[in-house]
Amino acid sequence: MIVFIHGANATSKSWSYILSKINVRNISVDYDSSLGFRRNLISIRSQIPTDEPIQIVGHSLGGIYGLYLTQTHNVTKGLTLATPYAGVAVADFMKMIFPGSHLLKDIGKYSRFITKSRNIKIKVPWTQIITTRGSLPWYLERNDGIVPISSMTCRNDINYLELPYNHYEILYSDEVVNLITC
C-alpha cells in the first residue's frame, strides 16, 4: 500500500492528478498544519495500518512526516518531493513576526522536529525529487519558490533526482507518476 502525505497548508486533494493516473491501493492522509507537528504526527500515524508494509510518497513537509513514520511503521520505500530535510531558515526569522504560527516553528532550520529528523537513518530505498524551478527573492540561494535546494539535498542516505518543476508543479508531473508505478 502507498501512503500519500501532502505538504503544509494543503490537503489530500493535492494528490488528485497523481492518483487519477495510478491504480494502486493507497491512503491519502490529512492533517492540519496549524495544529503543530506532534499532534499531526499522532493523527497521521492513526490513519495508517501498522500491520502491513507501506510505501511513503510525501510532498514537502509531508516527506518529513514520512521520515518519522519509518520509526513506527513497516516502511519499505520512500519517495519525497521537494522535502526540506534541513528546514527553511526564513521560517526561523518569520516566527519572530508571527510567534503563534505552529507551522513556522515546525519547519524552521532549528525546529526541534527538523533537527531530530536529521538523526533518523533511512534504511530502505528512498528517493528525493529536487524541484529546481522557481525563485523567492529573499532567499540568497537557489530555491524552488518555497524550499531552498540546499535543504532538499542535505541528506547522504537517499537518492536524488532533479526535475525542472517548481514546488507545486511537481504534483502534476507524469515523471512522478512513472516513479510511483515502477
Cell numbers for 81: 518531493
Q: Which residues contact 49 (CB under 8 A, 6 or more apart)?
A: 1
Q: Work out the average pLDDT over 154-176.
A: 97
Residue 76 confidence class, pLDDT cut points 50, 70, 90: very high
Residue 139 has pLDDT above 80, yes or no: no
- Three-state DSSP class for residue 178: helix
Could you list the residue range(s) of the whole structural domain that residue 91 is in? 2-181
Domain count, the chain: 1
Q: DSSP of 96-135, one letter per residue?
A: HHSTT-HHHHHHSTT-HHHHHHTTPPP-S-EEEEEE----
- Compute φ and ψ for 172, nearest 5 degrees: -120, 30
Residue 47 confidence class, pLDDT cut points 50, 70, 90: very high
Average pLDDT value over all residues in the chain: 94
Q: Looking at residue 131, which CATH number applies to its domain?
A: 3.40.50.1820
